[in-house]
Structure 1
Amino acid sequence: MNIVFDFGGVLFHWHPASFLARLWPQRAADEQAGAALAQDFFQNYSGDWGAFDQGLIDAPTVIARISARTGWPAEEVRQVVEAVPDELQARPATVALIEDLKAHGHRLFYLSNMPEPYADHLERSYPLHDWFDAGVFSGRVKLSKPGREVFELAQQRFGLPAEQLLFLDDHPANIEAARALGWQALLFSDADSVRPELQALGLI
């Protein structure tokens, strides 16, 4: 099988509510308040942040746009944008799952909504070329999930038919988009929860 991993929330830790509560204690007294801030900051990965994800604007521009839209000082917004790479720490259980899947002979790929500066950071910091045969970062191809086009591009780059791809992602909209194109897909919460599903498919 050919298994395609999302990155944020799957391979790499990403929890915006707790992230903003830690980074902006002056604005978010707890995780619940951090979740509300995250809605305004990241706009469910559409709007300003979606354009950054797609590589349509750079970091200074997304900082300026978020500051103008929300009224938050640009320096505070910059603090968040610059802190994201260090927040993207590999999840050990998912790394172990990757190693198990590779040991069972499966080919692994990735499809990630990721601004180009963060993609560069991950490539410098982790052995992506050892873990994966190939992958697609949204910021480099100017397309993002759940848009149909980025799945079609990924399928073309991987050189595989849809029915031979199994996608792991933590967002239901992305799972639905993959399935609509004929991919197999599993909604991911954590590695321990998805293992039984992979075992049921005879993959590990």
Structure 2
Amino acid sequence: MNSIKHRISVILFDYGGVLADEGFRNGLATIARRHGLQPETLLNQATDAIYQSGYVLGAGSEKAFWKLLKERSGIEGDISDLRNEILQRFRLRPWMLDVVDELRNDGYRTGILSDQTDWLDELEARDHFFHHFDVIFNSYHLGMGKRDPEVFRRVAKELGAPPEQILFIDDAPGNIERAQSQGLKTILFVNRERFEQALKHKLSAAAP
């Protein structure tokens, strides 16, 4: 009974930094260097602005996000050029999609859990990857993000799965800590080799 309760049935992946190269961080780094700013400083300002503008939770506009970020950081430029610096750097990792497909073939439910704006919908229109997954959870449509630990409980409820049966993969330590606090199993993504080792270990340890 205990092995059934704690077996993994659902595997959720972050998008940027896990399924795809981290376009938000990398694009902002390019913008920062162009303006003589520290990349990490601009990243922190942008992360705060995308939440405080409401854009990442579907409660504000992209225009409001860029306006707030420009005011705080001093960056300049046309919004279409700035956003392109970010979106063009979100590049899917084919090997990771192969992993997702293999997991689905093995009977696991797979999904995306991402703090993203409607950019994720644009990226889907460009790259056509949603069909690899059973479910898509995007903060823009959920109205909740991974800064709120409650989002993990909500996702588990919508999946109809106990938190301890969900494996969540993310590249942000804070998101991993909050997921763990809600009972999910986790893998902190660092690189491919360590991820593949950790995934094999987690799945074998949770096997019924």
Q: Could you state the TM-score of these two structures normalised by the residue count of structure 2?
A: 0.82
Which of 86, 99, 102 pairs up with 1:100? 102
Q: Which amino acid aligns with 1:141?
A: L
Give the aligned partner of residue 177 of structure 1.
178
Give the aligned partner of residue 37 of structure 1.
42
Residues 78-93 of structure 1 aligned to structure 2 (within 5 Å): 78-93=80-95
Q: What's the secondary structure of 2:137's corresponding residue? A: strand
Q: Could you state the TM-score of these two structures normalised by the residue count of structure 1?
A: 0.84
1:180–1:106 CA distance, 2 compared to 1 (3 A):
same
Are the equivalent residues in 2 in contact too, given 1:115–1:138 (CA < 8 A)?
Answer: yes
Residues 2-81 of structure 1 aligned to structure 2 (within 5 Å): 2-14=10-22, 16=24, 18-23=26-31, 25-28=33-36, 33-40=38-45, 42=46, 45-46=47-48, 48-50=49-51, 51-73=54-76, 75-76=77-78, 78-81=80-83
State the superposition RMSD in angstroms.
2.4
CA deviation digits over 1:75-118, x for unaligned, max 9?
A: 255532243222211012312221222232211011100012x1
Q: What's the secondary structure of 2:113's corresponding residue? A: strand
Are the equivalent residues in 1 in contact too, given 2:10–2:110 (CA < 8 A)?
Answer: yes
Q: What's the secondary structure of 1:105's corresponding residue? A: coil
1:137–1:68 CA distance, 2 compared to 1 (3 A):
same
Are the equivalent residues in 2 in contact too, given 1:18–1:35 (CA < 8 A)?
Answer: no
Q: What's the secondary structure of 1:98's corresponding residue? A: helix
Residues 137-156 of structure 1 aligned to structure 2 (within 5 Å): 137-156=138-157
Q: How far did residue 185 of structure 1 move? A: 0.8
1:123–1:146 CA distance, 2 compared to 1 (3 A):
same
Q: Which amino acid aligns with 2:81?
A: Q
The farther-off stretch of 51-60 and 96-105 is 96-105
Are the equivalent residues in 2 in contact too, given 1:20–1:28 (CA < 8 A)?
Answer: no
**Number of residue pairs the alignment of both structures matches:** 195
Q: What's the secondary structure of 2:97's corresponding residue? A: helix
Q: Which amino acid aligns with 2:115?
A: N
Q: What's the secondary structure of 1:4's corresponding residue? A: strand
Gaps of 5+ in 1: none
Q: What's the secondary structure of 1:166's corresponding residue? A: strand
Q: Which amino acid aligns with 2:160?
A: G
1:25–1:171 CA distance, 2 compared to 1 (3 A):
closer
Q: How far did residue 201 of structure 1 move? A: 2.8
Are the equivalent residues in 1 in contact too, given 2:23–2:91 (CA < 8 A)?
Answer: no
The farther-off stretch of 92-101 and 121-130 is 121-130
Q: Which amino acid aligns with 1:38?
A: L
Partners of 2:166 and 2:129 lie apart in 1 by 19
Q: Which amino acid aligns with 1:6?
A: D
Q: What's the secondary structure of 2:88's corresponding residue? A: helix
Are the equivalent residues in 1 in contact too, given 2:10–2:166 (CA < 8 A)?
Answer: yes
1:201–1:24 CA distance, 2 compared to 1 (3 A):
closer
- Matched-pair identity in %: 24
